[in-house]
Structure formats: C-alpha cells, structure tokens
Amino acid sequence: MTGSFYKMALGSWALTIIQDQYTQGDPANFAANATAEALDAVLTANGLNRAVFKWAINIVFIETGERRVLIDTGVGGDEARLLPTLRLLEVDPASVTDILISHSHMDHVGGLSDDVTAAFPNAAVMIGQTEFDVQAAALSRLMPYAQADLLRVMPDSGEWLPGITAIPAFGHTPGHTAFLLENDGESLLMLMDAANNNVVSLTRLDWAFRLDADPAAASATRRALLEKAVTENRRVFGYHFAFPGVGFVVPDGAGYRWVVLTP
C-alpha cells in the first residue's frame, strides 16, 4: 500500500513528504496534563471531534542532486507506506545515502530495519550523541547499520550534512533533535516531535504529550522553536501534523495558529 506524497522545492533541492501512516488517535495523548473540559474546549473551537481525531506520520525525503536523504523512517512493518511509496516514485532504497534520526521512538526508527536486515543498505544513519547515549537500549533497529559500519553518532548541535543543521530539542526524549534545512536562501524548520499536533500543541504550549520524557523541558523547547520560526520567518514542518505537515506558525493569544502552506 502506497501513501500520499507531496512535492516541494527548497531552492535547488527537491523535497518529497511521504505519509507513512494516517490513523485514529486519542487527543488526550496530546494534552496529558490537561483537564478533559479544557481539551474539549480547544477541540470544539477548532472544529475537531474526539471520535474522529487523526494523526499522521510524515517523512521528508530530500534529493540534493548529490545525496538522497531521509529524515526519520516511520513505523516499519506491513502497514508502513514509506518503502512502497519510494518504489512508486522510482527511488531504490539502496540509493538513499543518508538517514537522520530525530530520536529513538519506534514511529521514527521502525522503518530502518527488522533488527537484522537494513531497509536502506547503503545509507549512513546519523543520530545525536545524547540520544544515542541515553536511549541505546531502544535502538535495536540501528544494529544492522552499526554492524555495517554505517552508524554515525553526531554532535547534538551543528551541521550534520551540508545545509542540514541539528538543533538540540530535548524534552520529548533526553536527546531529541530538530533540524533546520537551508538551501539557496530558503529554509524549513523541522520540529519533529517538539510539537505533536498542529492544533493542540500550538494552542497550549504547556500541554504535554503522553510520551514526553521531561514535560517541562519539552514545553520550553516547543516555545523556543516556535518563537524561532516566527522571528526568523521560517517555514515549519511537523512530523505528526496534518499531512503534508508544512506551513507557517502565527502568534495567536498565548499560543500559535497553524497556517497551511499553499502550493
């Protein structure tokens, strides 16, 4: 089963955003420290319904002309759409040169391998030092790459590849990483899981996601990244935002409002 995909340019780079999954979710997971009444008020104000609350997994595939890069790999397994969609796009998984990992959760690393065989056999896999050190026990999907000498443990901040800068975005996990793509004067700030929903997470910056390792740190990270997006006038990408997850954030009261990027 293939997924939806969305193509856009970032200067001379070609970006394809692939929907690996789109599934039913409980909105309470995105507001773990909120009352049911407060969450319902936000959902109602934005025309959302608990009974049909959906969330996406959006994977960015970058073609620079010299490299083919994935930012995270989705859930893996039979229901995942990353590999079938790449094949539909006539992209051989063996042609992927680099995979950048934001953090260790299975919906981000599950598509790397089945713990034995690498799905992208020639790709260098990069992960931040802190995430690797703290979360190593959860990173079995990286094992085939480590055995093939393709695992790269990177500094928490700085340029991992030309035009792709890692930003420490700790809180969701101890070493969670956001990314800034810059090419030919254009940019895309990739929040990854620093904000997990384009309504709930932006409206109430203090509301925690159920899996946040350090909710207070995650909230501070979210505030800092969203402020950066506004002050620097950056386009924004959200890994779990409504597909394709690309747009702008606009200050709105104590939070922000999501504005979808129009083609």
**Residue 3 predicted with pLDDT over 80:** no
- Summary mean pLDDT of the chain: 95
Average pLDDT over every residue of 154-176: 98
Residue type at 207?
W
DSSP letter for 51, please: G
Average pLDDT over every residue of 118-135: 96
Average pLDDT over every residue of 140-169: 97
Average pLDDT over every residue of 12-25: 95
User: How many Cβ atoms sit within 10 Å of the Cβ of residue 53?
Assistant: 18
pLDDT, one tens digit per residue, over 43-62 is: 999 999 888 888 899 999 99
Q: Domain map of the chain by residue range? A: 5-260
**Residue 137: predicted pLDDT:** 72
Q: Distance between CA 52 and CA 60 in Å, rounded?
A: 26
Q: Superfamily for 5-260?
A: Ribonuclease Z/Hydroxyacylglutathione hydrolase-like (3.60.15.10)
Q: Distance between CA 224 and CA 182 in Å, rounded?
A: 19
User: 190 and 60 in contact (C-beta within 8 Å)?
Assistant: yes
**Tokens read off for 205:** 């910056």
User: 230 and 251 in contact (C-beta within 8 Å)?
Assistant: yes
DSSP letter for 111, please: T
Average pLDDT over every residue of 119-130: 98
122: three-class secondary structure by DSSP: coil
SS3 helix, strand, coil % of the chain, rounded to 5?
Answer: 25, 35, 40
Percentage of residues in the chain having pLDDT higher than 70: 98
**Residue 216: predicted pLDDT:** 98
pLDDT, one tens digit per residue, over 191-245 is: 999 999 999 999 999 999 999 999 999 999 999 999 999 999 999 999 999 999 9
Question: For 39-53, 89-103, 141-155, which range has the lowest pLDDT when averaged over its residues?
Answer: 39-53
Question: For 20-34, 119-133, 221-235, which range has the lowest pLDDT when averaged over its residues?
Answer: 20-34
User: How many Cβ atoms sit within 10 Å of the Cβ of residue 27?
Assistant: 22
**Residue 19: predicted pLDDT:** 97
End-to-end CA distance of the chain: 25
Number of H helices, E strands in the chain: 7, 14
**Residue 81 predicted with pLDDT over 70:** yes
User: How many Cβ atoms sit within 10 Å of the Cβ of residue 143?
Assistant: 15
**Structure confidence at residue 1 as a pLDDT band (50, 70, 90):** low
